[in-house]
Amino acid sequence: MNILVLIYDGPDECKLKECVDTFIKNANSQSQIWLYSRTEFNLPVKHFLLSNSWDGRRMTHRMELIRDLPAKIGDCIISCDIDVKFQGDPFQVFATEFDLFYTSREYKCESSVNAGVWGIRKTADSDCILKFMISEAIEPSWCPYLEIRKRLNRVDRNLEIDWWTNQDLLCAIHEAGLSFGSIFDAGAVYNCCPETGPNLPLTADVISKFKSKIGNPNYIIIHYKELKGKL
């Protein structure tokens, strides 16, 4: 089974519509969307209510939701932000054998990975990887992760637990690897973002370069980020 996991804690169905519609248009008909939200929307998705574990620990809980999915060995799972457009079937990524995939940026940035798109093939090893990541998010001890946290000046643990844990952990995995499990970098093909960041301003050239990727089927997932609704 192929499962796309979306999380949205707002009330606006329009923010979800392009994501859901373009996925249905491009994905295999056997693929499912599992939406975790506060509100039940009139969309062709399998719906789950978000628990209080989401509050104040959103990105940490995102990893927990993927870990706890009632999936079977061999199932393919993608965790994806909702501010995206699908231009192809994202489950093509699973043509490669791996336990965990992530998406590195195609430009230099303080965070080498954008955690808006990542996923697992359900295996014993992917279970171990998620268990390790969640344990590190709660009690950091792995040197590559500690170094990322120091480099990015993660001094507010409440904010870190809420927003940065999964991206920082994926950056550490990208930069240092893991000693167990099979890891795959799917790159910007599966998560094409505008080339912005803490020290990368949103210029006309950045917007123009990003717009050129929209409609290009070589980029499977377009991730609008701050440009959503502005193009």
Q: Which pLDDT tens digit goes with each residue over 13-54?
A: 999 999 999 999 999 988 999 999 999 999 999 999 999 999
The rounded distance, in Å, linking the Cα atoms of 51 and 55 is 8
pLDDT tens column, 73-127: 999 999 999 999 999 999 999 999 999 999 999 999 999 999 999 999 999 999 9
> For position 38, which CATH number holds?
3.90.550.10
**Domain tally for the chain?**
1
Evaluate whether 221 touches 87 at the Cβ level (below 8 Å).
Answer: yes
What is the arithmetic mean of pLDDT over 210-214? Answer: 97
pLDDT exceeds 90 at position 231: no
Mean pLDDT over each residue of the chain, to the nearest integer: 96
Q: Whole domain around residue 90: which residue ranges?
A: 2-227
Among candidate residues 230, 225, 196, 220, the one with its CA nearest the CA of residue 4: 220
Task: Residue 152: count other Cβ atoms within 10 Å of its Cβ.
Answer: 16
pLDDT tens column, 121-180: 999 999 999 999 999 999 999 999 999 999 999 999 999 999 999 999 999 999 999 999
